[in-house]
A = this chain, B = another copy of it.
Amino acid sequence: MIKVGIIGSTGYAGQELVRILLQHPEAEIVWYGSRSYVDEKYSKIFGNMVNLVDEKCMGEDMDALAEQADVIFTATPQGLCGSLVNEKILSQTKIIDLSADFRIKDVAKYEQWYGITHQSPSFVAEAVYGLCEVNRQEIRTARLLANPGCFPTCSTLSIYPMAKEGFIDMNTIIIDAKSGTSGAGRGAKVANLYCEVNESIKPYGVASHRHTPEIEDQLSYASGEEVKINFTPHLVPMNRGILATSYATLKKSVSYEEVRAVYDKYYADEYFVRVLDRNVYPETRWVEGSNFVDVNFQIDERTGRIIMMGAIDNVVKGAAGQAVQNMNLMFGLEENTGLKIVPMFP
């Protein structure tokens, strides 16, 4: 059994880690970390865990935790993992960081977009970006894993085959994304109250959202050229789910079959990526609660563009599920162990 510690177990991503790991046959949670709820029963905060989790919340003592855990998930705000990691800890345990601290290789770029001084830049090079479908090999041997952001996961995977095979003009990419409200976190803010979010949709972080450089990096690696995109997220009145609708100009006229073949080349053997049937578009309801990424595309011959669409559950494939997928790889398990969750509908 893999002994797991969770720092930040009382946020939405942290709680989802608990949900998934409780049903994982090879993992056992030994530490429910929390800043706000130390010494409170975990099941008092999350009533779904009554009778399933008896433990109380513990603090964020990374050194103590490193001695008990085979792997630590940090589901915490930006900057925290960066401030805690060190060589001693990494020699004792593996770290899967759900924050952005180790996702961007260019520290200056990270600091600029996030407005934070990186506390452990020396570990950035070592960290492996945990987009399993792309970096599977490197993940297997990682000590420090940067779990991808929710928007980058959904956006990159829906565009990746076209970028990799050079079908699209990379500097025409526009990503218009829509997210459920769990992505806004569990902090007590007026903007996230029920009556403020319900019955409305709004854009935010227009031309400035911090997931932009992360997506650009991944698309640059895929295409071999420097990429600049437009990325606009929107807040949707629903709990879970991200839909990314991406637009790009095709380099030349291509048929449905040609594009489909490319998507199949990359994804036909991927358990978690489902390329949908022609004219069937991703909908977030069909992946809810699961680690699936549903993708598809539509060619618009009138404009010479391709519309690439992807849907994930932001809390699962966009956070906790992908983190466990990475854990499975890092510990030599089948990649989908504990993750063969059938999406729940309605």
Interface residues, chain A, with chain B CB atoms under 8 Å away: 12, 15, 19, 22-23, 44, 46-52, 171, 174, 176, 178, 180-182, 184, 186-190, 192-204, 206-207, 228-230, 232, 234, 236-241, 243, 245, 247, 274, 276-277, 280-290, 294, 298-300, 302-303, 305, 307, 309, 340-346
Contacts and interface: CB of A to CB of B under 8 A. Distances in A.
Query: 4 closest Cβ contacts across the A-B interface?
Result: A200-B285, A47-B286, A48-B343, A202-B283
A173 to B, nearest CB: 9
A305 B230 contact: yes
6 contacts: A48-B345, A192-B194, A230-B305, A234-B245, A236-B236, A236-B237
Given A174-B174, A194-B194, A188 B188 contact: yes
A86 to B, nearest CB: 33
A201 B283 contact: yes
Contacts of A302: 207, 228
Interface centre among A171, A174, A228 (most CB of B within 10 A): A174
A194 to B, nearest CB: 4
Given A202-B281, A286-B47, A237 B237 contact: yes
A307 B194 contact: no
Interface centre among A47, A52, A190 (most CB of B within 10 A): A47
Contacts of A309: 203, 206
B50 A199 contact: no
A48 B188 contact: no
Contacts of A282: 202-203
Contacts of A245: 176, 203, 232, 234
Contacts of A294: 47, 50
A48 B283 CA distance: 9
A122 B307 CA distance: 37
A240 B23 CA distance: 22
Nearest to A171: B303
Given A201-B241, A283-B200, A195 B342 contact: no
A309 B15 CA distance: 26
A193 B193 contact: yes
Contacts of A52: 342
Contact of A201 (B12, B19, B199, B238): B238
Nearest to A341: B23
B346 A287 contact: no
Contact of A193 (B47, B49, B192, B299): B192
A50 B277 CA distance: 10
A342 B48 contact: yes
A170 to B, nearest CB: 12
Contacts of A196: 194, 285, 346
A233 B250 CA distance: 21
Contact of A303 (B19, B178, B203, B228): B228
B298 A344 contact: no
A281 B206 contact: yes
